[in-house]
Amino acid sequence: MGALEGKTALVTGASRGIGRGIARRLAADGALVVVHYGADEDAADGTVRLIEKDGGRAVTVGADLAEPDGHALLCTRLWEALAAAGAERGLDVLVNNASLTGGGHLAELSAEHYDRLHLVNTRAPLLLIQRLLPDLREDGRIVNISSAATRVAVPESIGYAMTKGALEALTLALAKDLGPRGITVNTVAPGHVATETDDLPLPSPEDIAEMVAFLASPAAGWTTGQRLEVSGGLLI
């Protein structure tokens, strides 16, 4: 029996990349996975197909988190999707992975792009957690996906790095608040993750998913408020 048998997990931004890897891994551990996407429903369906091919269970939920009420819409659709799948209302694992990048150096960064970075990378996870808290079960897990860019200076992504720094501050404060309910809150910070065009040895989405799966498992019940970087020792 998998470590997450009988559990329900929501992974935001699971239509591709690292989010897809996390969704597949949590489903392989037995969770019913809600695959969230922003715009690309076909890609999210692709994630579900891969999970089902591996013998897992998943449903999709779409919501644009750059919209001020995107988090609320996500919650409404989440409960509808779970009901349609015959699952009880409630969540055991929340992975805040959806993210926007770009923006450039300070001189190039527009106020509009910074506002969008803030909406998707910081505001949405904060308000999503706030809204989901009553339905997050005891011994639940929250994993926020940040970046090595909060530890290593990346001036060409200054706005992005700032939003990830705020996400890490949220992790720490919440870990203390939610400890009494047995809910852990941790950050996983990838370094540069390998794509098809990279020829360097870099971590893969599956490597990031491995750490998330550990934090989501009963084995990590005493690990909270931590920032775990999965970057192979990038610039240490």
Ligand X SMILES: NC(=O)c1ccc[n+]([C@@H]2O[C@H](COP(=O)([O-])OP(=O)(O)OC[C@H]3O[C@@H](n4cnc5c(N)ncnc54)[C@H](OP(=O)(O)O)[C@@H]3O)[C@@H](O)[C@H]2O)c1
Backbone dihedral region for residue 115 (phi beyond 0: left; psi -120 to 50: alpha; all else: beta): alpha
24's tokens = 């597949």
Provide the H-helix boundaries in 69-187: 70-84, 111-118, 124-132, 158-178
Q: Site mask, ligand X, residues 30-69, x = CB under 6 A? A: -------xxxx-----------------------xxx---
Q: How many residues bind ligand X (CB under 6 A)?
A: 23
Contact status: 113 vs ligand X (CB under 6 A) = no
Q: Which amino acid type is present at position 98?
A: A
Residue with tokens 């019913």: 32
Q: Site mask, ligand X, residues 126-165, x = CB under 6 A? A: -------------------x-x------------------
Check: CB of residue 28 under 8 Å from CB of residue 212. Answer: no
Q: Choosing from 9, 56, 70, 160, which is the catalytic residue?
A: 160
Q: Closest Cα to residue 145, out of 121, 162, 169?
A: 121
114 labelled catalytic: no
Give, as ranges, the residues between 1 and 20 that touch ligand X (CB under 6 A).
Answer: 13, 15-19
Instruction: CB nearer to ligand X: give 16 or 131.
Output: 16
- Calculate ∠ Cα 169-229-12, nearest 5°: 65
Q: Which helix (H) or strand (E) holds 145?
A: strand 136-145
Instruction: CB nearer to ligand X: give 8 or 150.
Output: 150
Instruction: CB nearer to ligand X: give 5 or 40.
Output: 40
Collapsing DSSP states into helix, strand and coil, what is residue 45? helix
In the complex, the smallest distance separating the C-beta of residue 155 from ligand X, rounded to whole angstroms, is 16
Contact status: 184 vs ligand X (CB under 6 A) = no
Contact status: 99 vs ligand X (CB under 6 A) = yes
In the complex, the smallest distance separating the C-beta of residue 182 from ligand X, rounded to whole angstroms, is 26
In the complex, the smallest distance separating the C-beta of residue 76 from ligand X, rounded to whole angstroms, is 15
Collapsing DSSP states into helix, strand and coil, what is residue 78? helix
Torsion of CA 65, 71, 73, 79, to 10 degrees: 130
Q: Site mask, ligand X, residues 185-204, x = CB under 6 A? A: -----x-xx-----------
Give the interface segment with ligand X, choosing from 3-11, 78-86, 93-101, 104-112 (CB under 6 A): 93-101
Residue positions annotated with a catalytic role: 160
